[in-house]
Amino acid sequence: MFNSSIEQIPRQELEALQLDRLKKALEAAQRTPFYKKQFSDNNIDVSKINSLSDLKKLPFTTKSDLRVSYPDGMCAVDRNVIVRMHASSGTTGKSTVIFYTRKDIEEWSSLVARGLYSSGIRSEDVFQNMMGYGLFTGGLGLHYGAEKLGCMIIPSATGNSLKQIQLIQDFKTTAVHITPSYALHLADVINGEGINPADLGIRRAVLGAEPYSEATRDKIQDIYGLKAYNNYGLSEMNGPGVAFECEELGGMHIWEDFYIPEIINPETGENLPDGETGELVITHINREAMPIFRYRTRDLTRIIPEPCRCGRTHKRIDRMKGRTDDMLIISGVNIFPSQIESVLMNIPEVGNNYQIVVDRENNLDKIHIKVELYSKMFHGDIKELDSLRKNITDLLKSTIIVTPKIELLEPGSLPPSTGKAVRVIDNRKI
């Protein structure tokens, strides 16, 4: 382990540490205009928060709270001790800004290093970081973590696939940080160059920044002959590194010396017991510049109640089931794009790109799913295509209940995704 004393800390000691840090964070939060007002509006006396279960008494913090606090309404330290900021661009309105002191950056880097180690990355690895650098936390977050671990980093960032391939070959990249959609796209480009992706020698992939299914992970592992690990993060909680999958592959350890996770019913806000699926809510208890309490991530998951075989005592969260705001309601049925993806990725005749389009025609919801035919699986027979289309329709119908209309497209006709893939287009005006 990267830091076995903290990763294997007995639960009792961990909880004592959490309470201590929570109290300090509450103390610091009173210096921020946002929490000062939120606590007084809700009659919260922070000196009365004396146990971890008292955390429930605090109100939630939401994305819109962060937007309203733009640019620094949640900052708890002096401007001159801040060494960095990151921001996530909101599609609507102002972006959300996160600040870090030097200690925050160092601890975040150690946390990412801890996670990378648990996913089997070692200091001997050549780590190609194919993630966006800049205001987005994904690139720099993993960069600092991998550097802390001692890897040689290739900060190749996103795009320019031919250059990426050349770097992999020339510097013998052994580990990559990549979005799943780009990993699949890059495999097509590598194949197009007459190279078998499995011959490149990449042994580990850290997949992140977008939701993906277990079937997509399998596909990436098969194509490249590597082991791929999941991780979870969000800029409000530093960025990547909040939770990492260990080599036991049974969910992601959420580093509880930094974060207190809760699962709530997204409609009522009530806490749910471990094991039940709901919205993940996280409290950051160890960031000087910007404490955040009970942040509503809008990600749906569950806490895995059983301890992990790896010996780490930090709880695990399951792979994300979707986002509360990604959920599509089609004719009254709740559908997650991830369910559709898992079905499609298990059909060998279907290529890597797909798109879900939802329309409302005559007051009825219609779901169209566009898939590309995988050229190697085309045998020139029209009956085969008709039965493929029927097969896709039936498989999806049995998973999502509603009957989709399947459109078979030529290979390469959907826009290739080089970052966060746009998979869902909802044309309904509600």
Partner 1 sequence: MPHQLSIFAENKPGKIEKITGIIAEGQINIRAVTISDAGDYGIIKLLVDNPERGFELLKSENIAVNLKEIIAVKIEDKIGGLHEISKVLRENNINVNDSYGFITEPKKEAVFIFQVADPIHAENILKKEGFSLLSDRELYLI
Site of interaction with partner 1 (CB under 8 A): 192, 373-375, 378-382, 385-386, 407-413
Asked whether 323 and 21 are in contact (CB, 8 A), the reply is no
How near is the Cβ of 140 to partner 1 at its closest, in Å?
A: 35
> Residue 30 or residue 191: which is nearer to partner 1 going by CB?
191
Burial of 248 (C-beta count, 10 Å sphere; 0-12/13-18/19+)? middle
How near is the Cβ of 299 to partner 1 at its closest, in Å?
A: 35
Measured CA to CA, the distance from residue 176 to residue 130 in angstroms comes to 7
How near is the Cβ of 370 to partner 1 at its closest, in Å?
A: 10
Would you give the binding string for Zn ion spanning residues 173-202, x where CB under 5 A is met? ------------------------------
How near is the Cβ of 219 to partner 1 at its closest, in Å?
A: 18
The beta strands (E) that lie in 21-132 are given as 82-88, 96-101, 126-129
How near is the Cβ of 302 to Zn ion at its closest, in Å?
A: 16
- What tokens appear for 385 in the block? 């295509």
> Residue 70 or residue 378: which is nearer to partner 1 going by CB?
378
By CB under 5 A, tell whether 15 contacts Zn ion.
Answer: no
- Binding-site member from 72, 188, 248, 426 for Zn ion (CB under 5 A): 248
> Residue 332 or residue 380: which is nearer to partner 1 going by CB?
380
* Residue 248 binding result from Zn ion, partner 1, none, given CB thresholds of 5 to 8 Å by partner type: Zn ion
* Residue 246 binding result from partner 1, Zn ion, none, given CB thresholds of 5 to 8 Å by partner type: Zn ion
Measured CA to CA, the distance from residue 165 to residue 332 in angstroms comes to 45
Task: Read off the amino acid at residue 84.
Answer: R
* Residue 411 binding result from Zn ion, partner 1, none, given CB thresholds of 5 to 8 Å by partner type: partner 1
Which residues in 91-127 are b (16+ Cβ under 10 Å) and which e?
A: eeeeebbbbbbeebbebbbbbbbbbbbbbbbeeebbb
Would you give the binding string for Zn ion spanning residues 305-334, x where CB under 5 A is met? ---x-x-x----------------------
* Residue 123 binding result from Zn ion, partner 1, none, given CB thresholds of 5 to 8 Å by partner type: none
How near is the Cβ of 416 to partner 1 at its closest, in Å?
A: 11
**Angle 97-102-106 from CA coordinates, rounded to 5°:** 100
Q: Is 285 left (phi over 0), alpha (psi -120 to 50) or beta?
A: alpha
* Residue 413 binding result from partner 1, Zn ion, none, given CB thresholds of 5 to 8 Å by partner type: partner 1
Helix (H, G, I), strand (E, B) or coil at 130: coil
Q: Which residues touch 108 (CB under 8 Å, ≥6 apart)?
A: 100, 141, 144, 145, 238, 239, 241
Interface contacts to Zn ion, rule CB under 5 A: 246, 248, 308, 310, 312
